Structure formats: C-alpha cells, structure tokens
Chain A
Amino acid sequence: MLARNYTAEKTETPNVEPKGPHPEAKLAETKLADDVGLLQKAAAGDGRAFHALLDRHMDRLYRLAVTFVGNAADAEDLLQETFAGAYKGLDGFEGRASVGTWLTRILVMQTARFRRDRKRKQMGSIEASEFDAPSVGHGSGVGGVDVRIDIQAALLQLSPAHREVLVLREFEQMSYEEIAEVLGVPQGTVESRLYRARAELREKLSAYLP
C-alpha cells in the first residue's frame, strides 16, 4: 500500500520558468520544439538551438551542481564545463537516454573530474578542503532556515557516491534505470547505495526525524 501511495507523496520539483532568458535563446525556444530537436539543430551548427537547450536545463543542473559541490561559485564553473562538454560532444548523443539524463551524466563526470583536480591541488597544501563539510546542528531550528542548512551540510558529509544517488532519487525523482544510466553502474548498485545513503542520512539528521 505504502509503496503505491509513494507517488502521491512525491513533491514535484517546482518548474521554475526562467525570468529573463538570453534573448537569442528565447527566440530559438519559441521556434523549436523538443530537446532532441534542439540537440539535432545544435549539432548541425545552430548556436541558438544550443542556447535554448541550455536555458531549459540550466536551473535543474545548477541545483544538482550546488548539491554536489556545496557552493555556488564552483557549481557555476561546473555548469559551464558541463555545457561546454555537451557542446563538444553533441555528435556523441546516441539517443539511448533522454537529453536531460545525458546532460546529468556529463555533469556527474565533470564533478568527478573537478573533485580529482581539487584533491590534486590540495595534496601539497595545508589549506582546508572546500569539501570539508560543515557540521550538522542539533535541530534547534526546526521548520526554519537551520533545517535547510543542516540538510545541505548532512548531504555534503555523505560520500560522493551516496550523495549523488540520493540526490538523483530524492530531488530529481529519477527512476533506478535513469540513475544507473547517469552514474554508469548497475541498478542493483543503485539500490544498495540508495539504502546505505538513506540510512547514513537518517542518522545525521536524526534530530529532525521521528
């Protein structure tokens, strides 16, 4: 019963309409229909189509990027690298997954690269890692800003693999198949990682949970 009711419980990600998209992208968006159409036009050299594609996905990918790296500046860099990578690899889109899934996969790969680069830079440095997650509070601000900050802090304390799988499932409402495609792992791995990530997060956020 509960499993079936779950879909009703899901909170839909707010579909945020861009308030002021790039003028060229807006023009292209009105003319062109769907993601695949835009992608094909972009691959044929239509820059406006690529900008329209960018407008469609940038908000969602940005939210993901912030959750992955923990700060706005790095997330923006990551987003830029993701779209630059997508532009270079337009011909590589095979249509196996949706364009959204394809872009998310590129973001995940860019995030992994970003982490490696950051780690390498920090190896000889005594500076604290930007990935040193802030500590989670003790539930003093239930229902307020503190809860939200603590959720973000708790997510950053998870391992990247656990964080990614949890965010893709809980925030993006992706299916196991889509998550497996994005992360390049079998669905069984998604299932076990998701279980462990939930268990770990419940422990960290126990102050806010029954």
Chain B
Amino acid sequence: MIPCPTNEELSAYRDGRIDGTRLELIQRHVAICQPCGLELSRLSALSRLLASALRPQLSQIARHRLHDKIDLAMERGLIRFGWSLSGIAASVLLIGSALLMHVDSVRRTAEAAPPWLGVAASSDADAVVANARTPAAALYLADASPGSSNLELP
C-alpha cells in the first residue's frame, strides 16, 4: 500500500484531477485507509453544506433597473461616438477652410505684386546691412566685397 496522500492531493483526487497510475494507487489506498476515507467524507460533507447556502435572487425591479442602466450606458456610448464624429467633422472643416484661405491669399499676392517690389525689398535689405555698426556686420561686408582685405573695425 502507498503512503497516505496529502490532504491537498486528496482534495484534487476528489475533484477528478488525478489520473493514470496515481489514480489507481490512490483509489486502492483510500478503499482501505480509514483516515483518508474520513478526510474524503469530510470534503463531501463540506460540499453538501455549501450546496445549502443562500442563493440570492435578483428581484424583478432590480432586473429592470439593470436593463435601464445598460440602455443608458449604450446611449452614452452612442452620444460620445456622435460627439467624436462631430468633432472630427468640425476639425476637417476648419482645417480645410484655413487651407483654402491660405491658398487664395497666396494666389492674390502673386497676382497683385508689381515686378519691382522684389528688387526694392532686396536693395532695402542691403542698405540695412551696410548701415550696420556691429563687428559681425563689418565682417560680413568685408567678405562680401572682393579685394577688401584691410578691415577696419568700428
């Protein structure tokens, strides 16, 4: 005869968790071992006792309340979905409008600008650089004019 299985193994045996050779060995053992047989009968008694436990029922009112709350949750989900769609649509509209306005303004500027505007702007920029009094500006001007190696810093 095999030594007594542990109570944990007996619990698993009772739940049908043991198989193969081990199952046969335990079956033979518990058939003649009084303490193990007693342990198994105690486990069965506990199961029977638990079977008599209170099994509360959901009242009719509670059932309807639950259905109503789920309906509400579904509606909220739909509303949120609707808001999300509205938000996306509004964003697309806003970005589209801004793009159209930008494209339109660029086109108008290109059409309206006189040919000499760019030249004037360029000479203005040169004048600003020429009048600069900083060492960096002086260096820049010295590099820009060919043959000007004698540099006088202000």
- Enumerate chain A interface residues (CB-CB to B < 8 A): 1-4, 6-7, 9-11, 13-14, 16, 18-22, 25, 47, 50-51, 54-55, 58-59, 62-63, 66, 72, 75-76, 79-80, 83-84, 87-88, 147-149, 151-152, 155, 166, 169-171, 176, 191-192, 194-195, 198-199, 201-202, 205, 208-210
Contacts and interface: CB of A to CB of B under 8 A. Distances in A.
A59 B58 CA distance: 6
B58 A51 contact: no
A191 B14 CA distance: 11
A84 B65 CA distance: 13
Interface stretch (B66-74, B83-91, B98-106, B125-133): B66-74
A84 B16 contact: no
B54 interface: yes
Main secondary structure of the interface of B (DSSP, over half): helix
A191 B12 contact: yes
Given A2-B44, A22-B63, A148-B54, A50 B70 contact: yes
B53 interface: yes
B60 A62 contact: no
Contacts of A22: 63-64, 67
B121 to A, nearest CB: 59
A187 to B, nearest CB: 9
A3 B27 CA distance: 8
Interface in B22-67: 23, 27, 30-31, 40-58, 60, 62-67
**Chain A contact residues: helix, strand, loop or mixed:** helix
A149 B54 contact: yes
Contacts of A21: 63
Contact of B70 (A83, A191, A205): A83
B18 interface: yes
A182 to B, nearest CB: 16
A151 B49 CA distance: 8
A39 B65 CA distance: 21
B77 interface: yes
Given A6-B16, A208-B49, A66 B56 contact: yes
Interface string B1-28: 0000001100111111110000100010
B71 to A, nearest CB: 7
